[in-house]
Amino acid sequence: MKKYLIITILLFSPFLLVKAQEGSEIIPDKQIVMKAKVLEILKQEMIDVPGTDAKHSSQTIKIKILEGLEKDREMIIDNDHLNLKVGEKFYLRQTSNSVDGIDYYNVDEPYRTPQLLFLVALFLIAVFVFGGMQGVRGVVSLVGSFLLILYVLLPGILQGYSPLLVTIAVSSLIIIVGSYITHGVNKTTSSAVLGMIATVSFTGLFAYWSVYFTRLSGFGSEDVVYLNLNAGGNIDVLGLLLGGIMIGLLGVLYDVAIGQAISVEELLRAAPHMPKKLIYQRAIRMGREHIGALVNTLAIAYVGTSLPLLLLFTQSSNESVFVTMNREIFSTEIVRTMIGSIGLILAVPITTMVSVYILTKHLKNDHVDKDTLEKEEYALKHMSHSHHH
């Protein structure tokens, strides 16, 4: 079993040579973000938003800077970004104009760190109370995944390496680290790991083909445009899209692969006399039920993150449905959903096949009781028919 772990790690170790260095940013103006507090609201009124029938709150506030070189400095600024209250903390952005040297101050974001930390603490408590040691392992795995994304994937992309290759490599490492930490080092986990890596690799190649097949440019949102400008045009935007698709697939892929590997293991424990082919068929039967639920889950998750797009879609009354769907901003989400769903579907037969091979490798079914197998198969089919009727 250790052989599979060593082979898997060696297979993807060359990609670890990605240098974790920061990408160079081209920023014409010097910007500093600092924490501040509202001391007094001097003026507040509702103003018209140009080009719409909506109104927006505008404030003139007296503030106090709480950190940095200008700590304890008080000033008066205009705020039409957030509706702030007296005593509320927020982040203030100072922009030093590189041409005239004048400093401009504006409200950047509300100070929401305490609330975020509270939610994280609530999550950890729920994991520890209801998940036990398995839950703790899951949290450690999650932290490891984020570290790999932050210190290997992102720097690698910023350094100009192929986002597709870097993402497949980092995804494989996340799979290896996360699976063995959470589920332990055993044959079942190794089966799931190899199945996931094979699925990720195939899905990555399929995603590469799909993106070019549908002629996507990668500039489906304003964020990507700003990122590309900020990096001086040195980022492979299309590869970044591919990387996002792959990382988005990982979370649900875990569920499928581990579930199939466990199914094969439990079938073997319940009926070690069963031939490999029959074990595969019965595990696939379980996986089919899983596929239906997971494809729906993935699609709904993508829809949930794209509600503004759907609203825009419903408002495009002077365009046909096909014209609106053809726009890159919509096409990207359709391609993302289809690739992710196909990857999940493929994970079931691939992981099941790998699991059956590894877990039954040393089993000998020379004395198979054919009568017992026929009775079991008949009972299973009868239950299946009853379920459908």
pLDDT tens digits, 167-193: 888 989 999 988 898 888 899 999 999
Domain at 135, CATH number = 1.20.1640
Q: Can you give the pTM of this predicted structure?
A: 0.70
Residues 158 and 105 in one domain: no
Residues 158 and 130 in one domain: yes
Location of structure tokens 């497949």: 168
Strand 74-79 to strand 55-65: parallel, antiparallel, or no bridges (unpaired)? antiparallel
Residues 266 and 343 in one domain: yes
Q: Is 384 part of a structural domain of the chain?
A: no
Q: How many domains does the chain have?
A: 2
Tokens representing residue 146 in the block: 């984020």
Q: Is 11 part of a structural domain of the chain?
A: no
Q: Is 1 part of a structural domain of the chain?
A: no
Residues 280 and 135 in one domain: yes
Are 179 and 189 in contact, with CB atoms under 8 Å apart?
yes
Tokens representing residue 321 in the block: 């449905």
Q: Is 50 part of a structural domain of the chain?
A: yes
User: Which are the contacts of 125, defined by CB distance < 8 A and separation ≥ 6?
Assistant: none
pLDDT tens digits, 69-100: 889 999 999 888 788 889 999 999 888 877 77
d(C-alpha 5, C-alpha 179), whole Å: 11
Residues 94 and 134 in one domain: no
Choose between 297 and 33: higher pLDDT.
Answer: 33
Choose between 8 and 61: higher pLDDT.
Answer: 61
Domain at 56, CATH number = 2.40.50
Q: Is 334 part of a structural domain of the chain?
A: yes
The pLDDT confidence band at residue 126, using thresholds 50, 70 and 90, is very high
Q: Which domain holds residue 362?
A: 115-377
232 DSSP 8-state letter: T
Choose between 26 and 238: higher pLDDT.
Answer: 238
CA atoms within 13 A on the CB side of 243: 22
Residues 219 and 323 in one domain: yes
Residues 280 and 155 in one domain: yes
Residues 267 and 146 in one domain: yes
Amino acid at 234: N
User: Which are the contacts of 1, defined by CB distance < 8 A and separation ≥ 6?
Assistant: 185, 186, 187, 190, 358
Are 153 and 170 in contact, with CB atoms under 8 Å apart?
yes
How far out from the chain centre does Cα 312 lie? 24
Share of the chain above pLDDT 90, in %: 21
Residues 120 and 107 in one domain: no
Q: Is 22 part of a structural domain of the chain?
A: no
Strand 103-110 to strand 89-96: parallel, antiparallel, or no bridges (unpaired)? antiparallel
- Tell me the longest C-alpha to C-alpha distance in the chain: 91
Residues 261 and 315 in one domain: yes
Are 360 and 276 in contact, with CB atoms under 8 Å apart?
yes
Query: Buried b / exposed e across 26-51, counting CB within 10 Å, b at 16+?
Result: eeeeeeeebebbbeeeeeeeeeeeee
Choose between 299 and 137: higher pLDDT.
Answer: 137
Starting from the edge strand earliest in sequence, which strands make up the sheet with 74-79, in order?
A: 74-79, 55-65, 30-48, 89-96, 103-110
